[in-house]
């Protein structure tokens, strides 16, 4: 299946000069979505993974589906103020400003093996922050996997020594 056929370019979003990669057509097609998730988790099948962590917001979609495919649990990495319990936060730079992610303090009790999932690897700031947060809370990161990598932004360079898998590369 040609997954690129299900990704729509939206010029000048969220600001002039940026071409946003809209994944909603892919998510709306059951066969494309199933194929995308199978490819997303393929390199990690057969490994001992206890949890998948996904970044808000589209990382929730792909992360929860990846967790289901790997028969493990899912932990959301949320924007500040969205989780009801005690949390740990990490702050980071984005290509359009700054942001933060939070997770419950007890989300990774017992040192689980975690796969970090998101939709797009762009500059690498969100992924780098997520890995830092997950490890700070006691987990072992097995790797990270993305549906789409924007290679021209060199986000992979912010993840040195990490196991990184991307289904598609632009």
Helical residues (DSSP H) of the chain, grouped into ranges? 24-28, 30-41, 58-69, 125-136
Name the maximum alpha-carbon separation found in the chain: 45
Contact 128, 121 (CB under 8 A): no
Reported as type and span, the H/E element at residue 154 is: none
- Name the residues annotated as catalytic: 58, 95
């Amino acid at each position: 299946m040609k997954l690129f056929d299900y990704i729509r370019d939206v010029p000048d979003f969220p600001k002039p000069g940026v071409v946003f990669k809209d994944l909603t057509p892919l998510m709306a097609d059951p066969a494309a979505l199933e194929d995308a998730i199978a490819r997303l988790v393929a390199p990690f099948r057969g490994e001992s993974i206890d949890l998948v962590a996904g970044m808000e917001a589209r990382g929730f979609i792909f992360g929860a589906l990846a967790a289901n495919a790997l028969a493990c649990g899912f932990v959301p990495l949320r924007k500040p103020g969205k989780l009801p319990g005690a949390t740990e936060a990490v702050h980071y730079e984005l290509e359009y400003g700054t942001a933060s992610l939070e997770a419950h303090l007890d989300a990774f009790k017992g040192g689980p093996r975690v796969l970090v999932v998101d939709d797009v690897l762009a500059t690498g700031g969100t992924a780098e922050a997520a890995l830092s947060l997950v490890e700070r809370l006691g987990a072992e990161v097995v790797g990270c996997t993305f549906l789409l990598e924007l290679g021209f932004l060199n986000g992979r360079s912010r993840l040195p020594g990490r196991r990184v898998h991307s289904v598609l590369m632009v």
